[in-house]
Structure 1
């Protein structure tokens, strides 16, 4: 009985192993970027300040530019209960090498907090970025969110739910677009209502048991005309739940006339959708650079 219960851990373990190997390899290669590490994006005096999780790293190109560069805030995945910015230095370095100022963030995780607090953390990180990124050569008026898996779901939520920033005193949402890499969590209301896949009950820990919360943190129910453009990339062999929710999200964007691109990458599984970001010439970066306005 124990082995079947542990099978759901295998994808997370494989992802962690693959990322550790990529990070080790990354430090053995030349890096055309400058990293500013462990910047606190929440004041240490805040009552909920988490010294480990309220941190971000900024990756800026070493080459000079006469104009401010586009900015991408990357949010890691990990089933809302694991993951760290430290595993994704290769994303920050690859983006910086190609002319983007990258911000790779941590946020608090389950079971310490639930997803609404994670979304609030990510919004605070984006707010910090909008206020400070010009000091690193980034353009706060060209700020995009990006993520993989659970992080992509949060990246989408930041793009469509203006209330996350209104609570921070912002009259407008600073996110100008989102890049979603095999996104999870686009419609957790539907997912948790059905509970049709093995071990789905595990997600009741980060999402709780209140359907109102499931809807509140599902980007599907906040999309409206006028939302910023998006890029969606889905693995051809990813999880069925990601395939179906991404397709329905695409249809929702399409119905509202929101500019976006929806791309299925044949043969790619869920883990491979993020590990491919180690190579700067992969299709996601090619589309991303055009999307954020990097000139070749």
Structure 2
């Protein structure tokens, strides 16, 4: 028994979200790509803006219809080893119609980067955005930060490690939306997901959100798909409860009929938090 009474085979299945949809991700990845391409064609936007020196340190920015708008920033999933900002803008038109600017971040993937570097890159991207707020036309004191799957993990860790840097930059995250995320890395290191990550004991401790809670301030929404695996649902529920006990404003919800891969399709997932 490896973790919480699971066998190796059971643990692999619990941490394989595709096991809930028959194992074929292809239609959903194709939808992400097509909807993102459609968003780029419909909205005048800025592609591959560099926030650092590496070719992987880029983001796509979709301006709001009006000036001084709220900004929504999204960090994509892919188990820290797949996808990019290019496939991660299906929600851009919905947010644009809602009067928000939108940025979708790219970061260096495993095995070329360790988790700490990914967290640092996401923080750096947010600080770069804050430094460009006047030029880009958004309000840096009115940020919503969201992430899906591994992206939710990165969002949680950015929030746990960046309060001082954000305050100094005049960046205020008012809302955090965590979607079908991972908040405890212990089971990850026991599955094949760890092959490109090669997590150390120190990394498992230092980059598990359940062990590194942020300071209170933003409003948190922890959401997960009804058709996620039981372990993904448990991790989300447990993390929401940890936030609540730590004094955060937090809600938890299970999205009926959704699974791990369609929960980020254009929907109320990204419009459930205040932007005022």
Q: Shorter chain as normaliser: what TM range?
A: 0.7 to 0.9
Equivalent residue, structure 1, for 2:178 = 180
User: Relative contact order: is structure 1 or structure 2 higher (C-alpha 8 Å, sep ≥ 6)?
Assistant: 2
Equivalent residue, structure 1, for 2:5 = none
CA contact (8 A) 1:159 1:176 kept: no
Equivalent residue, structure 1, for 2:60 = 57
Encode CA deviations 1:212-246: one digit per residue, 9 max, x unaligned: 21121122122155242211111111022211111
Q: Distance in 2 between matches of 1:254 and 1:25?
A: 35
1:241 aligns with 2:231: yes
1:191 aligns with 2:195: no
| Alignment gaps of 5+ in structure 1 | 1-5, 43-48
Equivalent residue, structure 1, for 2:89 = 89
Equivalent residue, structure 1, for 2:29 = 19
Q: Distance in 2 between matches of 1:169 and 1:232?
A: 24
RMSD: 2.9
Q: Distance in 2 between matches of 1:10 and 1:240?
A: 13
Equivalent residue, structure 2, for 1:254 = 244
Task: Provide the secondary structure at the position in 1 that maps to 2:44.
Answer: strand
Q: Distance in 2 between matches of 1:224 and 1:105?
A: 21
Cα deviation, residue 29, structure 1? 7.7
CA contact (8 A) 2:221 2:250 kept: yes
Cα deviation, residue 269, structure 1? 1.2
TM-score, normalising length: structure 1: 0.78
CA contact (8 A) 1:160 1:227 kept: no
Cα deviation, residue 158, structure 1? 1.4
Equivalent residue, structure 2, for 1:205 = 196
Q: Distance in 2 between matches of 1:30 and 1:84?
A: 15
Encode CA deviations 1:77-134: one digit per residue, 9 max, x unaligned: 0010011111123222321222111111100000111111111110110110111123
| Alignment gaps of 5+ in structure 2 | 1-11
Task: Provide the secondary structure at the position in 2 that maps to 1:143.
Answer: strand
Q: Distance in 1 between matches of 2:171 and 2:70?
A: 16
CA contact (8 A) 1:162 1:172 kept: no
CA contact (8 A) 1:80 1:109 kept: yes
CA contact (8 A) 1:130 1:140 kept: yes
Task: Provide the secondary structure at the position in 2 that maps to 1:205.
Answer: coil
Equivalent residue, structure 2, for 1:79 = 79
TM-score, normalising length: structure 2: 0.83
CA contact (8 A) 2:17 2:228 kept: no
Q: Distance in 1 between matches of 2:17 and 2:212?
A: 31
Cα deviation, residue 135, structure 1? 1.5
Q: Distance in 2 between matches of 1:142 and 1:96?
A: 15
Comparing 260-269 with 20-29, greater Cα deviation is found at: 20-29
1:216 aligns with 2:206: yes
Task: Provide the secondary structure at the position in 2 that maps to 1:270.
Answer: coil
Equivalent residue, structure 2, for 1:46 = none
Q: Distance in 2 between matches of 1:29 and 1:174?
A: 27
1:292 aligns with 2:270: no
Task: Provide the secondary structure at the position in 2 that maps to 1:273.
Answer: coil
**Change beyond 3 A, Cα 1:286–1:64:** closer
Give the total of aligned pairs.
261
